[in-house]
Amino acid sequence: MSWKIPLADIEIGNEEIKAVEEVLRSKWLSMGSVTQEFERKFAEFLGVRHALAVTNGTAALHLAHAALGLTAGDEVIVPSLTFVATANSIAYTGAAPVFAEIEGPDALNVAAMDIEQRITPRTKAITVVHYGGYPCDMDPILGVARRHKLSVIEDAAHAPGALYKGRKAGTFGDVACFSFFSNKNLTTGEGGMVVTDRDDLAERIRLMRSHGMTTLTWDRYRGHAHSYDVVAPGFNYRIDEIRSTLGLVQLQRLEVSNRRRQELVDKYRNMLASVPGLSMPFNDWHQVSANYIFPVLLDDRLQRPTFIESLKAEGIQTSIHYPPIHLFSYYRERYGYTEGSLPITEDACTREVTLPLYPLMGDKDVETVVGAVRRALG
Ligand SMILES: *Cc1c(COP(=O)(O)O)cnc(C)c1O
């Protein structure tokens, strides 16, 4: 299927190609100096002490939860309206994800009040997701965490460059995770980053990223070490130099491309305001979004299949973000969730449609999509 307007598209230019070629010619492909530079630049971009690059966003989330010492018997409160990796990565540690409601159809982020109601003596942490690039309302969430002495993990996969009250998403929790998957705001194909201001967590994540070993191949190559000890059964979640060099180039593009995303979203919001039959979440949310996706909610959930088909017939790709995690077979069977467990989340999930959004999209493309939306609902 070739789309007239795809859901997403990425910008890869000569700079990326040149950078990859340089790395290939250097013949050092595994984690080394380019990765260190990527980590340094990413930490500087966010204003955090530590940034550790990894294989993908899911590995970042696994390391974040593991480094906090989560284990069987613990509970972590997390939204159900997110990509399944957010919850899977909690389950990897043996801890149970406890799903919390979103604020409502106007703000699809996890609600602080609902988080607080789900706290038990087993609760150890809160994992938030900045849905679509819109930062969560962090003040009340951090308040709940402080009152109950819980750790906070940010899944910031959608939110590189987003701001909450002037401060970057990914700098609020004990630890935050980014994904550089192919369709994310900053891409390395596959890749991710864990960031933290806590030295103890950074140290633990560094070890667990590479087998629990106390030195790296890179250290030994440079003559800084001859051998190593293993202090924990770690993983191999290392990124490579090819991806890190892509990340460095893409990081330079991020501000400009996020700005373009914002222009396109502003245009969507203006044009769709007069279209009956749908609403736009985060229309009154005055924080700076990274605009990873542009979600709308149809008034009538029964209309969704024909709506999607109608746009498809005009060559416009859409998606759904997301089927709620608590209703996936594994989560129903393992943790006992059923339909009706999270009514606010379920309502939004059955009405949500994601419209195309990517920096290379033209103003005309937004007009084309809005025209098709109007016809689909009319
Ligand atoms: C993409 C994504 C992830 C997983 O990242 P990968 O790099 O694909 O492993 C995790 N959480 C959210 C919210 C995501 O969108």
Reported as a single tens digit per residue, the pLDDT across 159-209 is 999 999 999 999 999 999 999 999 999 999 999 999 999 999 999 999 999
Query: 235 and 260 share a domain?
Result: no
Which CATH number fits the domain that encloses residue 209?
3.40.640.10
In angstroms, the CA 15 to CA 288 distance is 28
CA distance 268 to 156: 24
Ligand 1, residue 59: give the atom nearest the CA: 9
Quote the DSSP letter at residue 111: P
Give yes or no: 27 in active site.
no
Q: Are residues 175 and 150 in the same domain?
A: yes
Mean pLDDT of 257-267: 98
* Residue whose token pair is 């998403």: 169
Q: What is the mean pLDDT of residues 19-47?
A: 97
Instruction: Check if the beta carbon of residue 102 is closer than 8 Å to that of residue 344.
Output: yes
- pLDDT score of 263 more than 80: yes
- pLDDT of 225 higher than 90: no
The answer to whether residue 9 is domain-embedded is no
Cα(111) to ligand 1 centroid in Å equals: 21
The residue whose C-alpha atom lies closest to atom 3 belonging to ligand 1 is: 57
Is 58 close to ligand 1, i.e. is its CB under 6 Å away? yes
**Cβ 179 under 6 angstroms from ligand 1:** yes
CA angle 254, 78, 151 (to 5 degrees): 85
In this predicted structure, the answer to whether residue 304 has a pLDDT above a threshold of 80 is yes
The angle, 0 to 180 degrees and rounded to 10, between the axes of the packed helices 363-377 and 304-313 is: 130
Instruction: Identify the pLDDT of residue 65.
Output: 98
**pLDDT of 348 higher than 80:** yes
Q: Does 171 lie in the same domain as 120?
A: yes
**Same-domain check for residues 164 and 49:** yes
Query: Where residue 226 falls among pLDDT bands split at 50, 70, 90?
Result: confident
Q: Is 356 contained in some domain?
A: yes
Q: Answer with the one of 251, 274, 293 that is the final residue of a domain.
A: 251
Instruction: With a cut of 90, say whether residue 223 has pLDDT above it.
Output: no
Ligand 1 atom with the smallest distance to the CA of 60 is 9
139 and 267 part of one domain: no
7 within domain boundaries: no
| Contact indicator for 307, 375 with CB cutoff of 8 Å | no
| Whether 66 and 138 share a structural domain | yes
**Residue 239, pLDDT score:** 98
Q: What CATH code is carried by the domain that includes residue 317?
A: 3.90.1150.10
| Ligand 1 pocket check for 181: Cβ under 6 Å | yes
Distance 58 CA to ligand 1 centre (A): 6
155 CB under 6 A from ligand 1?
A: yes
| Listed range (48-57, 129-138, 155-164, 228-237) with the worst mean pLDDT | 228-237
Please tell me the predicted confidence (pLDDT) of residue 219: 80
Is 8 among the domain residues? Answer: no
Q: Give per-residue pLDDT as tens, 54-97.
A: 999 999 999 999 999 999 999 999 999 999 999 999 999 999 99
Cβ neighbours for 8, distance < 8 A, ≥ 6 positions apart: 183, 356, 357, 358
In contact, 208 and 196? CB cutoff 8 Å: no
pLDDT at 276 over 90: yes
Residue of 181, 186, 190, 193 to test ligand 1 pocket, by largest number of atoms within 8 Å of CB: 181
- The pLDDT, as a whole number, for residue 316 is 98
Distance 219 CA to ligand 1 centre (A): 30
Q: What is the pLDDT of residue 216?
A: 79
Distance between Cα 185 and ligand 1 center (Å): 12
**Is 2 contained in some domain?**
no
| Residue at a domain's end among 216, 234, 251 | 251
Residue type, 166: G
C-alpha 178 to ligand 1 mean position (Å): 8
pLDDT of residue 138: 98
Q: Residue 57: CB within 6 Å of ligand 1?
A: yes
Tell whether the model's pLDDT for residue 32 goes beyond 80: yes
Domain encompassing residue 335 = 254-376
Strand intervals (E) in 94-233: 96-100, 102-104, 107-110, 123-129, 151-155, 163-164, 167-168, 175-179, 192-196
CA distances from 175 to 121, 196, 232, 300 (A): 22, 5, 20, 39
56 lines ligand 1 (CB under 6 A): yes
pLDDT confidence of residue 217 = 75
User: 354-364 pLDDT, tens per residue?
Assistant: 999 999 999 99
Indicate whether 1 pLDDT > 80. Answer: no
Total number of domains in the chain: 2
User: Residue with the nearest Cα to atom 7 of ligand 1?
Assistant: 57
130 lines ligand 1 (CB under 6 A): no
Q: Which residue has a Cα nearest atom 6 of ligand 1?
A: 57
| Whole-Å CA distances, 225 to 87, 206, 213, 233, 237 | 38, 16, 12, 20, 21
Q: What tokens were used for 101?
A: 């409601």
Tell whether 189 and 258 lie within a shared domain.
no
> For position 284, what pLDDT does the model report?
87
> What is the C-alpha to C-alpha distance for residues 307 and 7, in angstroms, rounded to an integer?
15
The DSSP-derived string for 34-101 is HHHHHHHHHHHHHT-SEEEEES-HHHHHHHHHHHTT--TT-EEEEESSS-HHHHHHHHHTTPEEEEE-
Q: 41 and 177 share a domain?
A: yes
Half-sphere exposure of 339 (CA within 13 A, CB side): 4
pLDDT at 221 over 80: no
Clarify whether residues 187 and 259 are in a common domain.
no
Collect all residues with Cβ–Cβ distance below 8 Å to 363 and sequence separation of at least 6: 264, 267
Rounded mean pLDDT, 246-257: 98
**Please, which pLDDT band fits residue 299 given cuts at 50, 70 and 90?**
very high
Of 18, 165, 184, 364, which residue is the catalytic one? 184
Distance (Å, rounded) from C-alpha 108 to C-alpha 78?
13
Could you say which of 217, 251, 285 is where a domain stops?
Answer: 251
Residue type present at position 304: R
Ligand 1 binding pocket mutation candidate from 155, 320, 354 (most atoms within 8 A of CB): 155
291 and 244 in one domain?
no
Same domain, 230 and 259: no
Ligand 1 atom with the smallest distance to the CA of 129 is 13
CA of 328 to the centre of ligand 1 (A): 17
Q: Does 237 sit in the ligand 1 pocket, CB within 6 Å? A: no
- Assign 286 a pLDDT band (cuts: 50, 70, 90): confident
| Nearest by Cα to 15 from 174, 248, 195 | 248
Do 136 and 234 belong together in one domain? yes
